Structure 1
């Protein structure tokens, strides 16, 4: 699971995983960053639009010029420079990639794994 420890959605997802005895490793973007290869793989699976959290404080605080004319290249550069702009949590379940937390989606993904 990828995210930041202070995120309320991360906290909910971690509680859900722990209450369902699902083991996981937590990767904190603030402490560990994100590798370009990892981000490129995610973008290839779900698209940059799903990963870039335009509602995040980090994104909202960007200069207007940085928010304009977004495309894959620019979005990836922003997320690599400031990983807290990546939607949370990102959970890798086998070959699947879950972005955000919904208990029913986690239930289906963990049950299918």
Structure 2
């Protein structure tokens, strides 16, 4: 079963859920704020998604970070930031089991099959 990583009050995450529901695709929801992010889960995601693409630089969490945390980013620093602040993970993030898709725009899930 697919897993959709979200933050419940995110409009784009709601649209992604609506798209999956409309297609009748089964999935479970993992709320990053409530459920957090384990090191094993983060490594599972980063094995399929480039590290620098996984961080959401448009999020409120990012904007509220101290400037020194935003400077000189490398893979290790991004991992540490994501572990400390799971809401920095770009979302919605859909793990189908075969692939991981980051973000959502209308039509992004049209090719998915249940």
Q: Could you tell me the TM-score, scaled by structure 2's length? A: 0.91
Give the alignment partner of residue 102 of structure 2, picking from 99, 104, 110: 99
Indicate whether 1:81 and 2:81 are aligned: no
From 21, 43, 46, the equivalent of 2:46 is 43
User: Gapped runs of 5+ residues in structure 1?
Assistant: none
1:1-113 pair list within 5 angstroms: 1-108=4-111, 110-111=112-113
Instruction: After TM superposition, give the deviation of residue 94 of structure 1 in Å.
Output: 2.4
Worse overlay, 99-108 or 21-30:
99-108
What's the TM-score, normalizing by structure 1?
A: 0.92
Q: Distance in 1 between matches of 2:44 and 2:75?
A: 13
Deviation at 1:80, TM superposition (A): 1.0
Unpaired runs of at least 5, structure 2: none
Structure 2 residue matching 1:13: 3-state secondary structure = helix
Equivalent pairs counted in the alignment come to 111
Deviation at 1:33, TM superposition (A): 0.2
RMSD: 1.2
1:9 deviation in Å?
A: 0.5
Q: 1:27 deviation in Å?
A: 0.5
